[in-house]
Amino acid sequence: MSDSTESKIRRSDSEIIHYDKAAEEVLHGASWQEIIDINEFERYRLTKNPAHFPKEKMFSLVNQIEGKKVLEIGCGHGAASVRLAYVDKEVTAYDVSPKAIEVAKLVAEVNGMNVDFRVGDFTQDVMLGKEEFDIVWFEMVLHHMIPELDDVMSKTYNALKPGGLFVCWEPLDYPRWIRKLDPMWRMLGARMPNLSVDYSPEEHPLRPSELEIIRRYFPHLQMKYSDLLRGFRFTDNVKARKFISQIEHCLLVIPGMKKFAHGAVMWAYK
């Protein structure tokens, strides 16, 4: 067995253990039994604020695709999957964690949504038909697949029908000179947003080299930068977050400010 194969297995196993544990805690609680408010479902059907909220931007793109077949990779507890089902998509969703899939199935059931949830590792054992899906959706998942990103994008491209949509929302890495400012921020009792996450050795926010891999398969990749003021998003109030996002939108127009963005929604059509 090669070192790279051993690394894949170790990382996959460690992630399964981590996410199984998190899902087990959910199963022992009552949160999975909560019925999602109809206004929450309608928010992603109507997408009134795609300029301000990354997930609404993703749904605004999805809602424009006439085709129904969606593949979600790394679905976790099914938050996006059930909302995709609500907007009349036929969703097939994978996750490496069996317990997470167990939670996702319960979430779909209590909310009356039909989703085909499956346990599988997209980097290893998930087999897909050629040109099978109209949409392939990743949400904060690709940065977990850095060593296999080329293979992942190849599988994604092959799985999409002609004209199909690839869409993701991922954290972005800062340039090296900005990263060097992190010790100064720590001395002041603060941390730069995407440096405050404990990434494993095999994962990190997407860097220009990873974006080039994605563009190799999707040359017309488009990006909407976000999370410039992530540290100030201290509330779940939609109006407050929209106001913060409006400030962020104005700042991102300034030349050079996109380098400080913590994340981006990316999309392209095959």
Q: What is the pLDDT of residue 95?
A: 96
* Residue 199: burial class (beta carbons within 10 Å; 0-12, 13-18, 19+): middle
Q: Alpha-carbon torsion 164, 123, 26, 114, what sign?
A: positive
Q: What is the pLDDT of residue 18?
A: 81
Residues with pLDDT less than 70, the chain? 1-12, 174-202, 229-236
Q: What is the pLDDT of residue 80?
A: 98
Q: What is the pLDDT of residue 1?
A: 36
- Indicate the domain borders of the chain: 3-226+263-269
CATH 3.20.20.70 fits 3-226+263-269, yes or no: no
Q: What is the pLDDT of residue 38?
A: 95
Q: In degrees rounded to 5, what are phi and psi of residue 186?
A: -65, -35
pTM of the model: 0.84
Quick one: which of 158, 266, 268 has its CA closest to 219? 268
- DSSP state, residue 174: P
* Residue 25: burial class (beta carbons within 10 Å; 0-12, 13-18, 19+): exposed
